[in-house]
Amino acid sequence: GAGVSQSPSNKVTEKGKDVELRCDPISGHTALYWYRQSLGQGLEFLIYFQGNSAPDKSGLPSDRFSAERTGGSVSTLTIQRTQQEDSAVYLCASSQNSGAFGELFFGEGSRLTVL
Amino acid sequence: GENVEQHPSTLSVQEGDSAVIKCTYSDSASNYFPWYKQELGKRPQLIIDIRSNVGEKKDQRIAVTLNKTAKHFSLHITETQPEDSAVYFCAGDTGRRALTFGSGTRLQVQP
A43: contact with B, CB 8 A cutoff: yes
Are residues A47 and A21 in contact, defined by beta-carbon separation less than 8 angstroms? no
> Which positions in chain A touch B93 (Cβ < 8 Å)?
101
Which has the higher per-residue pLDDT, B74 or A100? B74
pLDDT at B4: 93
**CA distance to partner chain A, nearest, from residue B109 (Å):** 18
Which phi and psi angles does A36 have, rounded to 5°?
Answer: -125, 135
> Which positions in chain A touch B97 (Cβ < 8 Å)?
45, 48, 55-56, 58
Interface-testing mutation among B31, B38, B97, B103, with chain A (most A C-beta atoms within 10 A): B97
Please give the mean pLDDT across all residues of chain B: 93
Beta bridge partners of A36: A44, A90
pLDDT at B99: 87
Interface-testing mutation among B49, B52, B59, B99, with chain A (most A C-beta atoms within 10 A): B99
A107: contact with B, CB 8 A cutoff: yes
Report pLDDT digits (tens) over A51-81.
Answer: 898 888 889 999 999 999 988 899 999 999 9
Report pLDDT digits (tens) over B5-20.
Answer: 999 999 999 999 999 9
- Mean pLDDT, residues B60-85 taken together: 96
Are residues B83 and B18 in contact, defined by beta-carbon separation less than 8 angstroms? no
Question: Strand B19-25 relative to strand B4-7: parallel, antiparallel, unpaired?
Answer: antiparallel
Report pLDDT digits (tens) over B46-56.
Answer: 999 998 888 99
Following DSSP, what letter does each residue of A64-97 receive, concatenated? TEEEEE-TTS-EEEEE-S--GGG-EEEEEEEES-
A55: contact with B, CB 8 A cutoff: yes
pLDDT classification of A2: cutoffs 50, 70, 90: confident
pLDDT at A58: 85
Please give the mean pLDDT across all residues of chain A: 92
Whether the per-residue pLDDT at A1 is higher than 60: the answer is no
User: CB B95 to CB A101 under 8 A?
Assistant: yes
